Amino acid sequence: MGKRRGGLAEASPGLLALVEPAAAAAAPAAAEGHRARMRQKLLQAGPDALLDHELLEMVLFLALPRRDTKPIARALLDRFGSFAGAIAAPQAELATVEGLGEAGVAALKIVQGAALRLSLAGVQERPALDNWQRLLDHLHATLARERVEQFRVLFLDSRNRLIADERQGTGTVNHTPAYPREVVRRALELHATALILVHNHPSGDPTPSRADIELTREVRTACEALGIALHDHVIVGLHGHASLRREGLLCGPARS
């Protein structure tokens, strides 16, 4: 019996040599078949036909060609809640998702950058005040999921077309330093004739604070001295926004 058991043991490496290559070949073939089906679904039905986890899978296909990206996509959704939440998540937090790695993080950030550039292009096509909802959509995409406050200024020309959308400061979870003199100085450098102030509230509640109102009036006073119009101050939260002009907190008629 010992010899027979030993014979089987000695023969097993040869059997495994026949079985393992076939199993190893089947896994990549199955993965490639899945990826091909996903590509066809995208090309034939469009991106709206893809669920969030499928879209994340496809983003990661090119960055992680040898990995099964489905569990990584699921982990991203479990952690960040949605496709938008995943691509907007801080790099340091993305780096902790198992299997994602530097290449996967870079792929998600490329998608985020492309989305923001596309939304910015839409804003630049028409005067900002005639394109208000698209402008709000762009500001929401840029700021709503930021974890700390960010103060931005939209610089406009005499026809209210966007010259530049610039970050002027980044602060903490509930405060951003902002300096009216620097805002006006930059407006003069860009030959801007009008401004829209923007910042986010990471708490999600866009209700203006007393400090927000005071800053707005300080900037307006500085702008008026140089003939620069301050059209609005928009505060962005995760589920909405506040307009100081619409709420009557900016001198002048309220935006309808």
- pLDDT per position as a tens digit, 119-175: 898 888 889 888 899 999 999 999 999 988 999 999 999 999 999 999 997 765 555
Q: What is the pLDDT of residues 35-89, one digit of tens each?
A: 888 889 889 998 889 999 999 999 999 899 888 999 999 999 999 999 999 999 9
On whether both 156 and 63 belong to a single domain, the answer is no
Query: What residues form DSSP beta bridges with 200?
Result: 236
On whether both 109 and 184 belong to a single domain, the answer is no
On whether both 144 and 102 belong to a single domain, the answer is no
Which domain CATH number covers 188?
3.40.140.10
The domain boundary residue, chosen from 91, 116, 141 = 116
The domain boundary residue, chosen from 67, 86, 116 = 116
Tell me the whole-structure pTM to 2 decimals.
0.74
Let me know if residue 125 belongs to a domain.
no
**% the chain with pLDDT above 90:** 66
Q: What is the pLDDT of residues 220-233, one digit of tens each?
A: 999 999 999 999 99
* Domain extent at residue 178: 132-243
Let me know if residue 219 belongs to a domain.
yes
On whether both 110 and 190 belong to a single domain, the answer is no
Let me know if residue 67 belongs to a domain.
yes
Q: What is the pLDDT of residues 194-219, one digit of tens each?
A: 999 999 999 999 999 999 999 999 99
The answer to whether 133 touches 189, Cβ cutoff 8 Å, is no
On whether both 94 and 159 belong to a single domain, the answer is no
CA distances from 81 to 42, 202, 226 (A): 22, 16, 46
Q: Is 124 exposed, middle or buried (0-12, 13-18, 19+ CB in 10 A)?
A: middle
Let me know if residue 127 belongs to a domain.
no
Compute the residue count for the chain. Answer: 256
On whether both 83 and 14 belong to a single domain, the answer is yes
On whether both 29 and 67 belong to a single domain, the answer is yes
On whether both 100 and 139 belong to a single domain, the answer is no
Question: What pLDDT sits at residue 172?
Answer: 54
Distance (Å, rounded) from C-alpha 143 to C-alpha 206? 12
Let me know if residue 170 belongs to a domain.
yes
On whether both 175 and 232 belong to a single domain, the answer is yes
On whether both 112 and 157 belong to a single domain, the answer is no
Confidence of residue 112 (pLDDT cuts 50, 70, 90): very high
On whether both 99 and 172 belong to a single domain, the answer is no
Let me know if residue 256 belongs to a domain.
no
Let me know if residue 51 belongs to a domain.
yes
pLDDT at 93 > cutoff 80: yes
On whether both 106 and 21 belong to a single domain, the answer is yes
Number of domains in the chain: 2
The domain boundary residue, chosen from 116, 148, 180 = 116
Let me know if residue 253 belongs to a domain.
no
